[in-house]
A and B are shown apart, each in its own frame.
Chain A
Amino acid sequence: DTEVTQTPKHLVMGMTNKKSLKCEQHMGHRAMYWYKQKAKKPPELMFVYSYEKLSINESVPSRFSPECPNSSLLNLHLHALQPEDSALYLCASSYNYLDTQYFGPGTRLTVL
């Protein structure tokens, strides 16, 4: 299994909602990543978990809260988002940190 899965594929939420994005991999990878990608721009790193511990937080606002319940799962909890947070949120994993990265299909988030 060389796949990273993400749910949901699409999400529309209001600014007062709380929602979560989920990411799963069963490749035995020990590093997992969240990226944010705006239209016609490259992906930007948000968080990195290595061995289930948060190792990088790229000064992301606290309305984004990552969680790594186990080595196969990565969540991104969303609360009180702003319309400018609308973007494609990509999850990736690699065997070790900075090894070849495998990306999921992404969640297209729209904040109204």
Chain B
Amino acid sequence: AQSVTQLDSHVSVSEGTPVLLRCNYSSSYSPSLFWYVQHPNKGLQLLLKYTSAATLVKGINGFEAEFKKSETSFHLTKPSAHMSDAAEYFCVVSPEYYGNNRLAFGKGNQVVVIP
């Protein structure tokens, strides 16, 4: 079964500095991978997704992620943090085969942006 590991449950960054959130996955097949963002008291919103096309994926709000199969990683980055980036971020891996629609969620990274 697939699984996701997100280290650093809490991440603090200064406004204007880079953001890096790490995600490692395990899967028997080449998965699809997603990053979702959850702002306080809101639902989850798709940030970006990898679906076996380009390994460098660009998402909304200046975020991007790079799929590295050899490292089983899908780290999320942003060159310059903004106050509005304060939120919780979830890395998610897709099912291993068609018909199994159960995503595997990481436990999340809570990002705090310091002015």
A, B in one complex: no
